[in-house]
């Protein structure tokens, strides 16, 4: 019963409501236990059946969370709105500075363009922030695989050169008319979505774990091929931590310790092997190969210097 209550209460965002909900649910379970004992069951059997009759703790918790929604922090939204407006006014105030009129015409036009972009970005950012704040997280969880597939598809199309811009071979943005979004920012958005995807595979076994790993590898590889090695590493470690926490919480019906040790061992060894293969077959960008060559050359030189010093 305690484990059931713990899983259920984790779904309730309003912390003040948790004690009251726990008391109410516990009362229902204890009442059902008494009825089951009266029907001739042992206490253990009566408790097991009473908990089973309550339904899935995750589903029940999500339903109760919709009823006991936390209050909207209107003050926070107002403060963010005021700060955004002040930022726009500060940006606009430069037009009235004496130094602005002394700039070359093309510099004035460029600054006007940058200012307009800044205003649009702040406005769109504030709208998106409010939208994400008000949206029910269960909606994102429900469509997490679809959202994840959309991000992966956009990444593949970007690599294929269907849209987006690049500088020196690096894909840096996805454009739709005047609207542009950073390619790495889009891929980073996959990280919280991955947590919701993991939630879909809870109570699964080894096949569910393998599917979760596939959902992890694909976006990391896409980001690596953009190429953006640092972001790819950050994404991999972030999602590995999420997967590790899910395993520790018992979301997968597998051996916890062996799986975690094997998982981290593979993912620490796999990038090194992948990098070695791509370097060997010249699948990396020229500057990446140059960096790797320089690193190993310096490393080799230091090792030789150390042994020479020891021999002396």
Residue 45 has pLDDT above 60, yes or no: yes
* Cα gap 309→312, rounded to integer Å: 5
Q: Which residue has the tokens 């190969």?
A: 289
Structural domain boundaries in the chain: 2-67, 72-135, 137-281, 283-312
Tell me how crowded residue 271 is: count the other CB atoms within 10 A of its CB. 15
Handedness of CA 273, 275, 279, 283 (dihedral sign): positive
Q: What is the mean pLDDT of the chain?
A: 81
The candidate with the shortest Cα–Cα distance to 133, out of 83, 78, 84, 180, is: 78
The reported pLDDT for the residue numbered 136 is 66
Residue 144 has pLDDT above 70, yes or no: yes
Is residue 184 a contact partner of residue 231, using CB atoms and an 8 Å limit?
yes
Residue with the bigger pLDDT between 296 and 77: it is: 77
Q: How far apart are CA 205 and CA 247, in angstroms?
A: 11
> In 3D, which of 164, 288, 175, 269 has the Cα closest to residue 224?
288
- Measured over the CA atoms of residue 68, residue 69, residue 70 and residue 74, the dihedral's sign is negative
80 contacts: CB under 8 Å, gap ≥ 6: 126, 129
Q: Name which residue leads in pLDDT, 289 or 22.
A: 22
Give per-residue pLDDT as tens, 247-274: 998 888 888 889 999 989 888 887 778 7
In this model, does residue 218 exceed pLDDT 90? Answer: yes
> Of 14, 29, 28, which Cα lies nearest the Cα of 64?
14
Residue 264 and residue 269: Cα distance in Å, rounded? Answer: 8
At residue 239, the pLDDT reads: 94
Per-residue pLDDT reduced to its tens digit, 61-118: 888 887 777 677 788 888 988 988 888 888 777 767 666 667 777 777 777 777 777 8
Instruction: Quote the pLDDT of residue 13.
Output: 76
Contact 5, 11 (CB under 8 A): no
Between 107 and 204, the more confident residue is: 204
Helix, strand, coil % (nearest 5) of the chain? 75, 5, 20
- pTM above 0.75? no
Res. 300: pLDDT tops 70:
no
What is the DSSP code string of 31-46?
Answer: HHHHHHHHTT--HHHH
Q: Name 252's bridge partners.
A: 204
The confidence score (pLDDT) of residue 311 equals 63
Mean pLDDT value of segment 117-121: 79
Average pLDDT over residues 301-307: 68
Q: Give dist(CA 148, CA 164) in Å, integer.
A: 19
């Amino acid at each position: 019963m305690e484990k059931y209550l713990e899983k259920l209460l984790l779904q309730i965002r309003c912390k003040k409501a948790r004690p009251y909900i726990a008391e109410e649910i516990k009362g229902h379970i204890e009442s059902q236990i008494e009825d089951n004992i009266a029907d001739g069951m042992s206490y253990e059997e009566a408790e097991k059946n009473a908990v089973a009759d309550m339904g899935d703790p995750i589903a029940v918790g999500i339903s109760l969370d919709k009823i006991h929604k936390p209050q909207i922090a209107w003050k926070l939204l107002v403060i963010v709105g005021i700060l955004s407006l002040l930022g726009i006014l500060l940006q606009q105030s430069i037009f009235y500075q004496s130094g602005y009129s002394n700039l070359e015409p093309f510099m004035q036009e460029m600054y006007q363009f940058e200012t307009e972009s800044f205003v649009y970005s702040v406005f769109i950012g504030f709208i998106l922030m409010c939208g994400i704040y008000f949206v029910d997280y269960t909606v994102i969880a429900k469509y997490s695989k679809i959202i994840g597939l959309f991000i992966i598809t956009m990444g593949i199309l970007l690599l294929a050169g269907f849209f987006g811009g690049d500088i020196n071979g690096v894909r840096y943005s996805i454009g739709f008319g005047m609207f542009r979004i950073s390619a790495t920012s889009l891929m980073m958005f996959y990280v919280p979505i991955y947590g919701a995807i993991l939630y879909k595979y809870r109570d699964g076994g080894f096949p569910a774990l393998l599917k979760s790993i596939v959902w992890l590898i694909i976006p990391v590889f896409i980001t690596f091929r953009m190429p953006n090695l640092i972001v790819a590493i950050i994404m991999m470690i972030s999602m590995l931590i999420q997967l590790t926490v899910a395993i520790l919480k018992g979301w997968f019906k597998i051996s916890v310790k062996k799986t975690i040790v094997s998982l981290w061992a593979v993912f620490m060894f796999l990038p090194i092997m992948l990098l070695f293969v791509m370097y060997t077959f010249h699948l990396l960008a020229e500057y990446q190969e140059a960096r790797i060559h320089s690193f190993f050359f310096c490393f080799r030189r230091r090792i030789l210097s150390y042994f020479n010093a020891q021999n002396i």
